[in-house]
A and B are shown apart, each in its own frame.
Chain A
Amino acid sequence: MSVPASTFLLPSIHSAPPFFTQQPNPSTQAIAVEHWTHLILSYARHRRLFVLRVEDAETTGSDWDEILRNPRINRKLLPPYLSHILSVMVASDAAAYEPPKQTRSVLVHWRSPDEWAQALHSWATATGQLNTILTFYDITDPPIESELTGIPIPLLRKAIAILSKTNRAQMIGVADGEGVRIFAAGR
């Protein structure tokens, strides 16, 4: 399901050696983190990656190597800097710590939970599955691949919670875990 890495067009700042160093000047640093946030979000969107961990900067071979490293200029993002970038992203809601109460791993919000809620509702409507009980598995691994294929459960929960607030979804306990029923519009 992942798109091959090589089709992603890296921004030119990615070839700048100092881009991989945490900047001591706060305003310079703010600019750099803004670029990193943008890069991480667009790369995640491109490859449909959901989870970014501090470990991804520690070892090679992760899904994120292409942006966390630049072998041509022999630079890599070091874990403390990645950790800082993640904290800024979480603060601006571009990511969320998952699981909560730790700072080593985030869910990347290349779509906001609101947008995911909308996508879920549109998908249920378009595939004629309103008012029926759907298990989480039905949503994350449907017979016909959808936008929601592979969505992590915590993110799916957030989307459902958002729909529930406007009475467009209801959580339901089913035999093998949890399910959800999605409604056309607010009741």
Chain B
Amino acid sequence: MHRRGGVGLAAFDRHEQSKRSFAQLSSALSQSQVDHLHSQLNQFRAALARFASTHRESIRSDPTFRHEFQQMCSSIGVDPLAGPRKGGWWAEMLGLGDWQYELGVQIVDVCVSTRERNGGVIEMSELVRLVSKLRGVSGGVITEEDVVRSIKTLQPLGAGYQVVDIGGRKMVRSVVKELDEDQSVVLEIAQLEGGRIVEDILVQRKGWTRERARAALENMVHRDGLCWLDDQDEECGRAYWVPSAMQWDV
């Protein structure tokens, strides 16, 4: 009669022995899996680096290629703009993050320098034209899409840059709650008048031209929603009301 496990004390030893062997085998297996994974990751990195070095220039200079690249990134769930903390090597290798931020700075430059002229609202095509001019020929071609993307990267700064649709036209607005001097004057007088403000008051008290008064008021109605229009005013026919200065709660 032969028992596989054996009998007596020797059986315990054998049992221990086989347990140890299994443990060794299992750790060897996982080690090889980890190694495999590492080598895959290295390959991926190398491929990416190759991709980056080959196409870096195209990505920066060719808007169509850039668009395709962005699409590819979003479809595989990689953010090419991710900062140095998360997946930074990706952004570093391509230099796309810097490229995007650089464009952002140029957008701010154009918006601020034209603010006096346009009151903080600039049409998209005009912005693209001015930014392209600023970048010069070597900067490559940029598109609306690039501008929109860069404006998004500006969001953490809290400067209130925003793409808005005004009557079907894309506009970039760079003043949100920031008031210009004229608006502050209007708000100040409205406060004294219980909310009501008309062109005549601004012309008489502040010596503004009628055009300036009208522009300031119309802007506050249309652009900022800071005023409500009243076209049944007994005195002037057309009056503006500042809700924040009125006695009713909206």
Contact = CB atoms under 8 A, between A and B. Distances in A.
Interface of A: 12-13, 15-21, 23-25, 27-28, 31-32, 35, 74-76
A17 B249 contact: no
Given A24-B221, A25-B222, A74-B234, A18 B228 contact: yes
A27 B232 CA distance: 21
22 contacts: A12-B247, A12-B248, A13-B248, A16-B228, A16-B241, A17-B230, A17-B232, A17-B239, A17-B241, A21-B228, A21-B229, A24-B221, A24-B222, A27-B225, A28-B221, A28-B228, A31-B250, A32-B228, A35-B250, A74-B232, A75-B230, A76-B232
Given A74-B232, A75-B232, A16 B246 contact: yes
A75 B250 CA distance: 18
Contact of A21 (B222, B232, B247): B232
A24 B229 contact: yes
A31 B250 CA distance: 9
Nearest to B223: A25
A18 B230 contact: yes
A129 to B, nearest CB: 46
B250 to A, nearest CB: 6
Given A24-B221, A24-B222, A25-B221, A18 B248 contact: no
Interface of B: 196, 221-222, 225, 228-234, 239-241, 246-250
A31 B248 CA distance: 14
A76 B234 CA distance: 12
Nearest to A81: B231
A16 B230 CA distance: 9
Contacts of A19: 228
Given A17-B239, A21-B228, A21-B229, 20 more contacts: A12-B249, A15-B248, A16-B228, A16-B241, A16-B246, A16-B248, A17-B196, A17-B241, A18-B241, A20-B230, A21-B231, A21-B232, A23-B228, A23-B229, A24-B221, A24-B229, A25-B221, A27-B225, A28-B225, A74-B232
User: Counting chain A CB atoms within 10 Å of each CB, which of B228, B231, B233, B241 scores highest?
Assistant: B228
Top-10 shortest CB links A-B: A18-B228, A12-B248, A18-B230, A18-B241, A17-B230, A25-B225, A28-B225, A21-B231, A16-B248, A21-B230
User: Counting chain B CB atoms within 10 Å of each CB, which of A17, A18, A24, A25 scores highest?
Assistant: A18
Majority SS of interface residues in chain A?
Answer: helix
Contact of B232 (A20, A24, A25, A32): A20
Nearest to A15: B248
Contacts of B231: 21
A15 to B, nearest CB: 6
A27 B225 CA distance: 7
A13 B250 contact: yes
Nearest to B218: A24
A81 B109 CA distance: 43
A12 B249 CA distance: 7
Contacts of B247: 12
B142 to A, nearest CB: 30
A74 B232 CA distance: 8
Contacts of B225: 25, 27-28
User: Counting chain B CB atoms within 10 Å of each CB, which of A12, A16, A32, A35 scores highest?
Assistant: A16
A23 B227 CA distance: 9
B76 to A, nearest CB: 38
A18 B230 CA distance: 4
Nearest to A19: B228
Contacts of A15: 248
Contacts of A24: 221-222, 229
A75 B232 CA distance: 7
Contacts of B196: 17
